[in-house]
């Protein structure tokens, strides 16, 4: 599967990858995972408090039931550390569910852990005999 490749810049943000002035294509699911987990989910935020309802990615589709992005950014309002970690795992899995629903992957699993100022997210995607592992560290103070 070819997808536009994203690469991490020196400042920690991701951007499209270019080589000799041409966009690069990736052969893994990394770009799909980055966009799904890294985009702020908006549609499902309607069930949250008023101050969170307008949060999220402006490009969220308007198709009923079609939600993009991840709701991890809403956890800044969650005071319970244990509950926050469980919700982080659920939100990451929810943001990647489309990979299984659309037949791109056989299964998706995720783990999340707060370590100091960082939210560490691990994602494992399996499809047949293939496995891809991704790990991201989000500076939590910038999200919260």
Condensed to tens digits (0 to 9), the pLDDT of residues 5-30 reads 888 888 877 888 899 999 988 878 88
Burial annotation 37-76 (CB, 10 A radius, 16+ → b, else e): bbbbbbbbbeeeeeebeeebbeebeeeeeebbbbbbbbbe
Q: What percent of the chain has pLDDT over 70?
A: 74
Instruction: Say what the pTM is.
Output: 0.77
**Chain centre distance of CA 83:** 19
What's the CATH code, domain 3-143? Answer: 3.10.450
What is the arithmetic mean of pLDDT over 35-49? 66
Condensed to tens digits (0 to 9), the pLDDT of residues 80-137 reads 777 888 999 999 999 999 999 989 999 999 999 988 878 899 999 999 999 999 998 8
Q: Is the pLDDT confidence value at 38 over 80?
A: yes
Can you give the pLDDT at residue 69?
79
What is the arithmetic mean of pLDDT over 65-88? 78
Give strand pairing partners of 118.
Answer: 115, 139
Can you give the pLDDT at residue 96?
94
Indicate the domain borders of the chain: 3-143
- Residue 56: which pLDDT band, with cuts at 50, 70 and 90? low
Can you give the pLDDT at residue 109?
96
Cβ within 8 Å of residue 62, ≥6 positions away: none
Cβ within 8 Å of residue 140, ≥6 positions away: 114, 117, 118, 119
């Amino acid at each position: 599967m070819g997808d536009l490749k994203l690469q991490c810049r020196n400042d920690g943000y991701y951007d499209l990858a270019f080589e000799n002035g041409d966009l690069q294509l990736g052969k893994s699911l990394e770009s799909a995972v980055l966009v799904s987990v890294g985009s702020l989910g908006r549609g499902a935020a309607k069930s949250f408090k008023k101050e969170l309802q307008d949060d999220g990615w402006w490009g969220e589709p308007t198709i009923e039931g079609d939600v993009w992005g991840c709701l991890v950014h809403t956890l800044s309002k969650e005071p319970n550390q244990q509950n926050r970690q469980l919700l982080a795992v659920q939100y990451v899995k929810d943001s990647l569910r489309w990979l299984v629903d659309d037949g791109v992957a056989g299964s998706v699993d995720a783990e999340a852990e707060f370590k100091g100022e960082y939210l560490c997210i691990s994602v494992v995607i399996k499809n047949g005999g293939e496995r891809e592992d991704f790990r991201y560290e989000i500076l939590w103070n910038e999200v919260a």
